[in-house]
Amino acid sequence: MTHIDEILTLANKFANEGKKPTVALIKAKLSIKLPLMLIINTLKTWEHDPNFIACINSENKVKYSELITKDNNQLSKLIEKIVAKELSQVKKELEELKGQVAQLSKK
């Protein structure tokens, strides 16, 4: 479930309960903190769909957390590879510079 889907789900849930979905109501019920502009913009385009009310339960929150953790782990591994590659290039350049300094100091 995307962030927008979660906002839309909550908006529909409130509307089905006879409440007007407001930014404050949505923000209070979100499973994670989202930028206010995302909530506002989503509510501006929201149209009530009584069938779009897939409840946000703890199982969905766990799956979402697992996805975030998995994505973060993959991102960390990618960053480590990039840093290692860049570091090896810097080390190579450093060794070349040390060689040049050694040659110049012999002269």
Helix (H) or strand (E) holding 3: helix 3-16
Per domain, the residue ranges of the chain are 1-56, 57-107
Contact call for residues 8 and 53 (beta carbons, < 8 A) = no
Confidence at residue 26, expressed as pLDDT on a 0 to 100 scale:
94
Confidence at residue 66, expressed as pLDDT on a 0 to 100 scale:
65
Amino acid 74 reads: Q
Q: Which residues contact 12 (CB under 8 A, 6 or more apart)?
A: 21, 48, 49, 50, 52, 53
Q: Please list the pLDDT of the chain residue by residue as tens digits (107 residues).
A: 688 888 998 998 898 899 999 999 999 999 889 999 999 999 998 888 776 665 544 455 555 556 667 667 777 887 888 889 999 999 999 999 999 999 999 87
Q: How far apart are CA 4 and CA 9, in angstroms?
A: 8
| Phi, psi torsion values for 93, nearest 5 degrees | -65, -40
